[in-house]
Structure 1
Amino acid sequence: MVSTHNLKSVDFYRKIPRDLTEASLSGAGLSIVAAFSMIFLFGMELNNYLTVSTSTSVIVDKSSDGEFLRIEFNTSFPALSCEFASVDVSDVLGTNRLNISKTIRKYPIDSYLKPMGSEYRLGSISRDIKHDDEVDENNAEGSTALGESSFDITAHKHPILVVNFYAPWCYWSNRLKTSWEKAARIIRERHNPQVDGRILLAKVDCTKEVDLCKRHHIQGYPSIRIFRKGNDVRDDHGHHDHESYYGDRDTKSLVIAMEDLVAPITLESQQLALENKTGNVAGNAKGPAPSAGGCRIEGFVRVKKVKFLLVISARSGAHSFDASKMNMSHIISHLSFGKTISPSAMSDIKRVLTYIGGSHDKLSGREYIIHPGDSNADVTIEHYLQVVKTEVITGSYHEQILVDYEYTAHSSLVHSINIPVVKFHIEPSPMQVLITENSRSFSHFITNICAIIGGVFTVAGILDSILHNTVRLMKKVELGKNF
């Protein structure tokens, strides 16, 4: 059995009796300085331990999130109608996607970006529309020409008023003219306005009645609008609430559509027009007309990680647009790449990358406004974006890979002889930035703390010994001189 005496023999820290030690004023001063030094160095080491340390490298994009890139955006166009707004994507591989609608939502807005109703669900008009091929030898006018002064009076006089808003220079308006006038004559013969009066076909020349067409948000020609007595004006904000005809434009189809509109209305009770707002026009021939002249477009598209072009424009396969009146002013509320980053993940990214801020959404809140009459009118607005993937590997608790996309953005105005559009030229980088969070070992932290305490204690002891011996030597020298 090991005795207590033998156990004491391995004591590294043998004690000197207190009676054999002597306290000094210099030792006390050095002890205080040593204590403050230990506290200061401990704080420095603790701060260094808590500070995030990262290493950065640039490597070829490993595409851990797949070969496709997701683009999310929310952009408001105060002067582009949802009726014709189209989102198109094309890339250098030859892929073209026109009028994307599955992942895109459109909401009518006014010139002040105020929402004017629910989501506008009808897509842009791009299908082939049938027209009459023969030329009408009978030049008799069948439809009634309306102007600013006569429009409202006529609209409130007839339960159904169908108006062709056209432009004489428009190719599609001229193709419609023959069948429109023939259909108007047929409807007039069947439903004489003086006797029947349930329906009237009319027309408005938008080159002459500019304000009237603007009031009804006409941006493409020809636009066929269906007005119903008592339902064409909202009392809350005065905007017209009516429908658009998108069906075939040959005489037969027009006559059938008009008859379907007038069928629910009897001569005895024209009030049924108020209860049959949707009518019975078959197929997709009819849809709601835009309640405002602007549109907010939001949603996302997925493209391959190659150079591509995102275009937002007015598009239709059966309408013409006046380039001089197209204004592509827009406000970008949001534009980012990749999957939506959760707040907790963004917090982790910002903890590692304090500079990131809004670099992943540089265009957020940017306004590109063109005022009518400016020297920059009739222009295409182009944005050039270079996208770089940033992958962050954090070491907190468990390894986590966070992906963010940063981009640079430059914009310019380009005068165009064609219809103005908005273009986003986007070029993903083949390289990616890899940032790794280097976690610090707790054992290393404890080792450094022990080194600090032991080192300061030892150095202070050495200084105290030197100072004490120096003082003793000086005293001896002084006593030697006295003798």
Structure 2
Amino acid sequence: MDGLIGKLKLRNLDAYPKINEDFNTRTLSGGAISLVSSVIMAFLFISELRLYLHPVTETKLVVDTSRGEHLRIHFDVTFPTLACSILSLDAMDISGEQHLDVRHDIIKRRLDSVGNVIEVRPDELGAPKIEKPLQRHGGRLEHNETYCGSCYGAESTDDHCCNSCEEVREAYRKKGWTLSNSDMIDQCEREGILQRIKDEEGEGCNIHGFLEVKKVAGNFYFAPGKSFQQSNAHIHDLLDFQKDSFNISHNINRLSFGEYFPGVVNPLDGVRWTQPTPTAMYQYFIKVVPTIYTDVSGHTIQSSQFSATEHFKGGDVDLLQALPGVFFFYDLSPIKVTFTEEHVSFLHFLTNVCAIVGGVFTVSGILDSFIYHGQRAIKKMEIGKFI
């Protein structure tokens, strides 16, 4: 007797009540709902499996506390109507560091009027070696004689030598003089600078490479002429080109701050601009956001993202007041973005699968019950009408 009472009490604790077989009715609507539910569960399971097999990217914003780092700027810019011989690149930053007439890590490609490549050459440093240049004393260089070219009155000391056209220009700049006629300078004539300018008249130029700069605000720009410092002023020498205007129409094929990483979008890639006025200055103002990308294997890429706005100065630009060229002013954000790839844990995947199965099963059961009882109620109403 006690055993029977114990069994009855244990049955009362059953949390899974059994449905009477008389109420276990199979219907056509129930079969359709079951089929649709199975398809939905299979689709959701495949989607969840795909998310599990592929890494997800977690994004965080942190304060950039790095110091003393450098930033590599990659560029590839085409000037369809500006010759390579007159195109120069300068860079400077707010710390006072300047890179004038940058030539290292840069390649120039001469282009004809339709954009075909004529010649590819690095922007070389120094002057070509030509036999028997003019010596400072007026005679030609003799055998075993050390070359010492004249500075044409701009010598700072008695033993000051100017062995290239650029050294003559530099000596004149330090004196505050203007070198108005390069044809009269032996070094410039031997190096063929003016002849090269004439030969490349009507050509275009593609310039690509990279700059290594400090991780502080600064700017770099492409402009005609050679730059120099004089009395704390930044000046471009345009006298040799004998032009009143320069066409700085340009195509930005690529511009990035740092290395490429998956998902990065450089907004200036593919930008094309055509100069509408005889002389112009075009400016890009860039906000750089330092970015760290870590892939699922743990490999880290130090890079940057950026946004850009543009400003154009047209017909009011005077060669004596403003320099024609394409300027890029950049500033760095104090916030750093980190992207981290990681796999979803198996426990998380299993939990999501159980939630999918349970959720679809519950909703389909409610829907099936609603349809079943609705059909029975309609039948009872119809039967009641005939009685």
Q: Report TM bin, short chain.
A: 0.5 to 0.7
Seen in structure 2, the aligned counterparts of structure 1 residues 116 and 223 have a Cα distance that, compared at 3 Å, is farther
Q: Is the 8 A contact 2:82 2:247 kept in 1?
A: yes
Shift of 1:54: 4.5
Distance in 1, Cα, partners of 2:115 & 2:149: 33
Seen in structure 2, the aligned counterparts of structure 1 residues 121 and 434 have a Cα distance that, compared at 3 Å, is closer
Q: Where does residue 309 of structure 2 map in the other structure?
A: 410
Q: Where does residue 282 of structure 1 map in the other structure?
A: none
Given the alignment, which residue of 111, 114, 117 partners 1:115? 117
Shift of 1:306: 0.6
Q: Where does residue 445 of structure 1 map in the other structure?
A: 349
1:76-115 to structure 2, matched below 5 A, reads 76-115=78-117
Shift of 1:310: 0.4
Shift of 1:427: 1.3
What's the RMSD between the two structures over aligned residues? Answer: 4.4
Seen in structure 2, the aligned counterparts of structure 1 residues 130 and 413 have a Cα distance that, compared at 3 Å, is farther
For residue 99 of structure 1, give the secondary structure of its aligned residue in structure 2: coil
Distance in 1, Cα, partners of 2:28 & 2:186: 97
For residue 331 of structure 1, give the secondary structure of its aligned residue in structure 2: strand
Given the alignment, which residue of 369, 381, 390 partners 2:282? 381
Distance in 1, Cα, partners of 2:362 & 2:81: 79
Amino acid at match of 1:387: V
Q: Where does residue 366 of structure 1 map in the other structure?
A: 271
Q: Is the 8 A contact 1:382 1:423 kept in 2?
A: yes
Shift of 1:44: 2.5
Is 1:43 equivalent to 2:50 in the alignment?
no
Distance in 2, Cα, partners of 1:410 & 1:41: 48
Q: Where does residue 334 of structure 1 map in the other structure?
A: 254
TM-score, scaled to structure 1: 0.51
Seen in structure 2, the aligned counterparts of structure 1 residues 368 and 114 have a Cα distance that, compared at 3 Å, is same
Seen in structure 2, the aligned counterparts of structure 1 residues 93 and 108 have a Cα distance that, compared at 3 Å, is same
Is 1:222 equivalent to 2:121 in the alignment?
no
Q: Is the 8 A contact 1:59 1:431 kept in 2?
A: yes
Q: Is the 8 A contact 1:309 1:425 kept in 2?
A: yes
For residue 84 of structure 2, give the secondary structure of its aligned residue in structure 1: coil
Q: Is the 8 A contact 2:80 2:111 kept in 1?
A: yes
Given the alignment, which residue of 131, 139, 150 partners 1:130? 150
Amino acid at match of 1:405: S
Shift of 1:92: 0.4
Is 1:320 equivalent to 2:230 in the alignment?
no
Q: Where does residue 303 of structure 1 map in the other structure?
A: 213
Seen in structure 2, the aligned counterparts of structure 1 residues 447 and 74 have a Cα distance that, compared at 3 Å, is closer
1:340-355 to structure 2, matched below 5 A, reads 341=260, 346=261, 349-350=262-263
Given the alignment, which residue of 169, 172, 179 partners 1:172? 179
Seen in structure 2, the aligned counterparts of structure 1 residues 24 and 32 have a Cα distance that, compared at 3 Å, is farther
Distance in 1, Cα, partners of 2:112 & 2:305: 32
Deviation by residue 1:333-362 (Cα, 9 ceiling, x = unmatched):
2211112x3xxxx5xx23xxxxx5xx32x2
The runs of 4+ residues in structure 1 deviating greater than 6 Å are: 316-319, 458-464
Distance in 1, Cα, partners of 2:326 & 2:186: 26
Shift of 1:32: 4.5
Amino acid at match of 1:369: T
Give the share of equivalent positions with the same residue, in percent: 26
Distance in 1, Cα, partners of 2:222 & 2:364: 74
Distance in 2, Cα, partners of 1:110 & 1:45: 58
Seen in structure 2, the aligned counterparts of structure 1 residues 292 and 434 have a Cα distance that, compared at 3 Å, is same
Shift of 1:467: 6.6
Q: Where does residue 34 of structure 1 map in the other structure?
A: 34
Seen in structure 2, the aligned counterparts of structure 1 residues 445 and 46 have a Cα distance that, compared at 3 Å, is farther
Distance in 1, Cα, partners of 2:326 & 2:289: 22
Q: Where does residue 391 of structure 1 map in the other structure?
A: 292
Q: Is the 8 A contact 1:323 1:378 kept in 2?
A: no
Amino acid at match of 1:388: V
Distance in 2, Cα, partners of 1:309 & 1:129: 36
Shift of 1:404: 4.5
Distance in 1, Cα, partners of 2:153 & 2:354: 96
Given the alignment, which residue of 292, 307, 311 partners 2:200? 292
Deviation by residue 1:277-312 (Cα, 9 ceiling, x = unmatched):
xxxxxxxx4578254233221111110111111022
Matched pairs, number? 300
Given the alignment, which residue of 52, 55, 59 partners 2:62? 59
1:267-278 to structure 2, matched below 5 A, reads none
Distance in 2, Cα, partners of 1:384 & 1:28: 67
Distance in 1, Cα, partners of 2:307 & 2:356: 47
Structure 1: give runs of 5+ residues left out of the alignment: 1-11, 135-169, 174-220, 225-244, 250-256, 258-284, 351-355
Q: Is the 8 A contact 1:327 1:370 kept in 2?
A: yes
Distance in 2, Cα, partners of 1:48 & 1:404: 31
Q: Where does residue 236 of structure 1 map in the other structure?
A: none
Q: Where does residue 74 of structure 2 map in the other structure?
A: 72
Amino acid at match of 1:329: S
TM-score, scaled to structure 2: 0.61
Distance in 2, Cα, partners of 1:94 & 1:39: 67
Shift of 1:370: 2.4
1:231-242 to structure 2, matched below 5 A, reads none
Q: Is the 8 A contact 2:287 2:332 kept in 1?
A: yes
Shift of 1:57: 2.8
